[in-house]
Each structure stands twice: as C-alpha cells, then as structure tokens.
Amino acid sequence: MYTKEELDFAYKYPVSEESKLIIRSLNMGKVDQNHLRIGVARLEAALSGKIDYKPISYGKLDYLIGYVYARMLVSCMKSQYAINLFAQAEARRSATAMKSDPSLSLLQLAKELGIAAKESENEFSISFTKLLENMPKNSGYSLANLQLSKGTVVLNKKQFIDVITEATIASIAHSLPVDNSGIPTEVRNAAKNIRMPVQKIMAKRSGSNAIAWIDRLLEVPISDCRHRTVNLILAPYLMTIKGLDVEEGVKVISNYIEKCKTVNPHTNVNESYIRYQCKYAKSHGMKPMTLVRAKNELSAIDFKIIGEE
C-alpha cells in the first residue's frame, strides 16, 4: 500500500520513485478505457506544447495511471520528436508543482534523479559536474553569474528547479520508448488516432555565420574548458545541427580531444563522457551555445585563434 503523501508526491512528479512503486503495486493487466482516455488527453496536451498542473484533492491515482498510458501511447508513435515533446511537457508540468513545494520535496526529487544537493537558507548546493550534465536551457543563464567553490555551485530555488527540470526531461526521454510487444492492442489502436506533431525546423539564413565558428573550433586544439566545450558546443552541434549519429559524433569529438592533448595532455574527458553527452544532446534536440555566450562563459579559450567573424 501507499500513503496519501506518497500519492501526492507521485501525482506531482510521475518520474519519481514513489510513482514507480505505486504503479507496480497496481493490477493493470486489463485496459481501463477511462484511464486510456486520460492518457490520450495527456499525450495530446503534451504534443500541443503544455500539460497543465492543477492541485486536486481527488483523482490523483487516475491521473497517475493516465501517465502510464501516455507513455505507452507515445511509444507506439515511433517518433523521437514526439517523445521529446512529451518529456519536455511533463517536466514543465512538474516544474510548476515544484515552485510551491518545500525545499525537502525538491531535495528528495533531485536525489531520486541522481543529483545530490544540500540546502541552506533557500540556496541549493550541487556539484559542478551535475550542473553541466543538467544545464538549463533558459536564455540568459550564465555560469559566470554562479557561485563556484571547490567543485560545488550554489543555486537559488528557481535555478535549482531549472536543473531538476532538465534532469526530469532526460529521465523520461531515456526511458522511452517502452517495449511495444507488451503494449495492449487497445492502446496501439488508440495511438493510431493521435495526430503526429509536425517538427518545427527553423530556416537558416543564407550566408549566416551563426555556427560557422564551431567548424573552425574543431580545427584548433584548446588547452582548457574541454568538458564544457564538449557538453555545451560540440555534442549539440554534431547531434542536432549536423545530424550525426551518436557513434559518428563520439569519433569526431574523440579525435578532437586527442588533438587538444598536443597542447595540454591533462584532461578527464574520456569516451564514456563524450558518448553520454552525445546521447543527451540527441535525445533533447539540444542546440549549441552561441558564440557570444561562449565568449562570456568559456573565457579561458582564446577565440582570436579560432578566427571568428
């Protein structure tokens, strides 16, 4: 059995361990049409861009089960783009709940997502590595404005929520699609009636130099900032802009890091780290940071040698 508090937590955060435990405790062998309808509505809302979060007193379990159906439905669509939209919308819904939740709840969810954190006077400390793994995409978010000390970064509540939101997106996206062989026929049939979202692709300006500097960067070895260069520039560029597959991206970046070792052999960037960042960038459709932001946040790199325009 589960407590009222556990159900409340699971309702807010379906990616949580509490949610998984509650779902495993239920007998869901037969398709429930009401829950299927909730799942369809939840997925359609996600594909349209937003799932609303509403504090409710009744129906939390039904809505949680609807999340399970939504996961099955989006898996049947066989579209990574649809999965990404679903993960992002679910994470934003949870972020809305986080805003009014106490610090203990945020710390608990962060821990379940693999982010160890400490709180003091409404400020949250996490490792710099975990920040890089879950870097918020908010415009204006700058590493230069954060408090750094001995590998730890201090965040305010909004920034901490942004980090947890990114970790939630990754957790949901990486767990999908579920094995279609275990999805009931009724769910598969319902998925056929869900409209496939049209992927939005921004047209590139003719003659634009917005990303040309990254190609030049790949030709110039750097002696510092390699972790962030891989995480924030190279993996997103090769996966999202160039459209390479993960193994191709790993090879390109690994060759680049070897080139960088000729100017400074000391680095902790290894193939495992590169592969993780490539997978993350591809699953999130992550875009590389702009040249302006790179100059601001990666000041250890001499951009003059890259010859940017």
Q: pTM of the full predicted structure?
A: 0.68
Residue 140, pLDDT score: 52
Average confidence score pLDDT of the chain: 88
The answer to whether the CB of 92 falls within 8 A of the CB of 173 is: no
**pLDDT > 70: what percent of the chain?**
90
Separation between Cα atoms, residue 250 and residue 8, nearest integer Å: 41
Helix (H) or strand (E) segment spanning residue 142: none
Residue 92's pLDDT is what? Answer: 96
* CB 92 within 8 Å of CB 12: no
Across the range 116-133, mean pLDDT stands at: 90
Higher-confidence residue of 6 and 80: namely: 6
pLDDT at 206: 36
The dihedral sign for the CA sequence 56, 59, 60, 62: negative
* pLDDT for residue 70: 98
Q: Report which of residues 136 and 104 the model is more confident about.
A: 104
Tell me what the mean pLDDT of segment 14-37 comes to. 94
Q: How confident is the model at residue 278 (pLDDT cuts 50, 70, 90)?
A: very high
pLDDT at 304: 64
pLDDT for residue 309: 47
pLDDT at 17 over 90: yes
More confident residue, 135 or 154: 154
Distance CA 267, CA 222 (A): 11
Q: Is the pLDDT of residue 67 over 60?
A: yes
Q: Is the pLDDT of residue 26 over 80?
A: yes
Mean pLDDT score, 78-82: 86
**CA dihedral of residues 257, 244, 297, 122 (deg, nearest 10):** -110
Q: How confident is the model over 169-176, as a mean pLDDT? A: 93
CATH topology of domain 4-192: Transcription Elongation Factor S-II; Chain A (1.20.930)
Q: Evaluate if residue 157 carries a pLDDT over 80.
A: yes
pLDDT in the model for residue 202: 41
Could you give the count of Cα atoms lying within 13 Å of 75 in the half-sphere of its Cβ?
22
User: What tens digit of pLDDT does each residue of 212-241 get?
Assistant: 888 888 888 888 888 889 999 999 999 998
Locate the DSSP E strands across 43-114.
Answer: none
What confidence tier does 306 reach under pLDDT thresholds 50, 70, 90? low
pLDDT value at residue 300: 67
Tell me which of 151 and 281 has the higher pLDDT: 281
- Contact assessment for residue 6 and residue 21, using Cβ atoms and an 8 Å cutoff: yes
The domain segmentation of the chain, as residue ranges, is 4-192, 212-297
User: For the residues 131-151, what does the mean pLDDT come to?
Assistant: 71
